[in-house]
């Protein structure tokens, strides 16, 4: 059985950037089935000596507005269900948005282990880190998916769950 890590969060927080960093060129599968699974990507992720399958939940850009919420929820629910641990990402520069609260509630309800990542914190975004404690998902990790900051802290969080 492979250990699965899902990256969860609203659009534009940096999920795919982290996915690309964890997977590098090792994308195992692009699921291009129609409907809710269309934009989902899975890849062989690696962080130090940890190996796992990463699920990137995703690009909702093409969805019709009325279908967006439904589609996002279905895709996210499926990823959470499959995952052994969820990396829940918010944007530290924007802070906690109502949509983040919804994802947070779904994650808490799932009972899955959650690692809270506050992204885009290179240089700034610390207010977002403080604010994220309010999500009730434990200690946040400040990261920069783009610059590769916080990867050792993600490793430390995943290592005991793996």
Of ligand GDP, Mg ion, none, which one sits near residue 112, judging by CB under 5 to 8 A according to partner kind? none
Tell whether the torsion through CA atoms of 14, 15, 21 and 22 is positive or negative: positive
Residue 96 marked as a ligand binder:
no
Q: Is 57 in the site for Mg ion (CB under 5 A)?
A: no
d(CA 99, CA 48): 32
In whole angstroms, the minimum distance from the beta carbon of 14 to ligand GDP comes to 3
- Interface residue with Mg ion among 8, 22, 36, 58 (CB under 5 A) is 58
Are the CB atoms for 108 and 136 separated by under 8 Å? Answer: yes
Residue of the chain from 16, 75, 121, 132 that contacts Mg ion (CB under 5 A): 16
Cβ proximity to Mg ion, 72 vs 114, nearer residue = 72
The whole-angstrom separation of Cα 111 and Cα 107 is 7
β 29-30/41-47 pair status = antiparallel
User: Which of ligand GDP, Mg ion, none is residue 108 near (CB under 5 to 8 Å by kind)?
Assistant: none
Place of tokens 């109502």: 98
The binding site consists of: 9-16, 56-60, 119-122
Residues comprising the binding site for GTP?
9-16, 56-60, 119-122
């Amino acid at each position: 059985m492979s250990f699965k890590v899902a990256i969860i969060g609203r659009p534009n927080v940096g999920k795919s950037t982290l996915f690309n960093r964890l997977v590098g060129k090792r994308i195992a599968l692009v699921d291009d089935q129609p409907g809710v699974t269309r934009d989902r990507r899975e890849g062989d992720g690696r962080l130090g000596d940890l190996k796992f399958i990463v699920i990137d939940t995703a690009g909702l850009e093409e969805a019709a507005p009325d279908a967006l919420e439904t589609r996002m929820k279905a895709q996210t629910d499926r990823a959470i269900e499959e995952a052994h641990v969820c990396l829940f990402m918010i944007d530290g520069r924007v802070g906690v948005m109502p949509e983040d609260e919804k994802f947070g509630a779904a994650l808490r309800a799932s009972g899955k282990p959650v690692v809270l990542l506050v992204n885009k914190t290179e240089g700034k975004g610390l207010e977002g880190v403080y604010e994220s404690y309010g999500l009730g998902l434990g200690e946040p990790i400040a990261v920069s998916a783009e610059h590769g900051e916080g990867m050792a802290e993600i490793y430390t969080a995943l290592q005991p769950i793996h």
